[in-house]
């Protein structure tokens, strides 16, 4: 085998090896993480009408009530790498998953600036969706009438690295 043939074969092998290797678990994790990340981005941008449509388990909460409560909250997800850290899938089924993640927050009434806990995601309409109650909880508002706020605390869990 001459040097040109050997180089061409080596380059082809490198291209093949770097172009493969993404298994089903990585794709699933990426879809879960991307779904949650996209939802947090929409929230951060203040697009509450669109955010409402991206959430699961909305119950009796109307779009108007949701938007009003979210506008009253000063809490929103942090940007960039602080938005989500230590993302871990704890349980995954076809239409439901439980993840554990630290979400960075801005505008919180305390100094923690994050919440670390489990979140339930639901697969609906071809996408993984956070639950409305979780968004209300992170934002410090309640689902009840009035705009009550509550303090954010950093929670620990045995699942944290």
Q: What is the pLDDT of residues 22-60, one digit of tens each?
A: 444 455 457 999 999 999 999 999 999 999 999 999 889
Q: For the residues 94-116, what does the mean pLDDT come to?
A: 90
pLDDT at position 122 over 90 = yes
On whether residue 145 sits in a domain, the answer given is no
On whether residue 5 sits in a domain, the answer given is no
On whether residue 153 sits in a domain, the answer given is no
CATH number of residue 99's parent domain: 3.10.450.100
On whether residue 149 sits in a domain, the answer given is no
Range of the structural domain that residue 116 is part of: 25-139
pLDDT of 142 reads 74
On whether residue 65 sits in a domain, the answer given is yes
How many folded domains does the chain comprise? 1
Report d(CA 112, CA 69) in Å as an integer. 22
Q: Model pTM?
A: 0.71
* 77-97 pLDDT tens trace: 999 999 999 999 999 999 999
Q: What is the DSSP string of 82-142?
A: GTEEEEEEEEE-SSEEEEEEEEEEES-SSS--EEEEEEEEEEETTEEEEBHHHHHHHHT--
* 5-31 pLDDT tens trace: 655 565 555 444 444 444 444 554 579
On whether residue 18 sits in a domain, the answer given is no
The pLDDT-based confidence of 160 (bands split at 50, 70, 90) is very low
Report d(CA 122, CA 13) in Å as an integer. 40
Give every CB contact of residue 71 below 8 A, 6+ residues apart in sequence.
48
On whether residue 135 sits in a domain, the answer given is yes
pLDDT at position 65 over 50 = yes
pLDDT at position 106 over 80 = yes
pLDDT of 19 reads 46
pLDDT of 153 reads 44
On whether residue 9 sits in a domain, the answer given is no
């Amino acid at each position: 085998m001459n040097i040109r043939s050997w180089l061409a074969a080596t380059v082809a092998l490198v291209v093949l090896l770097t172009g493969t290797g993404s298994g089903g678990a990585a794709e699933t994790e990426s879809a879960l993480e991307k779904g949650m990340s996209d939802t947090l981005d929409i929230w951060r941008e203040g697009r509450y009408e669109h955010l409402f449509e991206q959430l699961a388990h909305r119950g009796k909460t109307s779009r108007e009530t949701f938007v009003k409560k979210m506008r009253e909250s000063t809490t929103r997800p942090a940007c960039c790498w602080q938005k989500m850290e230590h993302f871990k899938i704890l349980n995954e089924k076809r239409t439901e998953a439980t993840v554990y993640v630290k979400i960075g927050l801005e505008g919180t009434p305390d100094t923690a600036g994050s919440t670390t806990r489990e979140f339930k995601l639901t697969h609906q309409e071809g996408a993984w969706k956070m639950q409305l109650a979780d968004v209300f909880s992170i934002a410090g508002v309640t689902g009840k009438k009035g705009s009550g706020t509550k303090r954010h605390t950093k929670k620990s869990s045995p699942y944290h690295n």
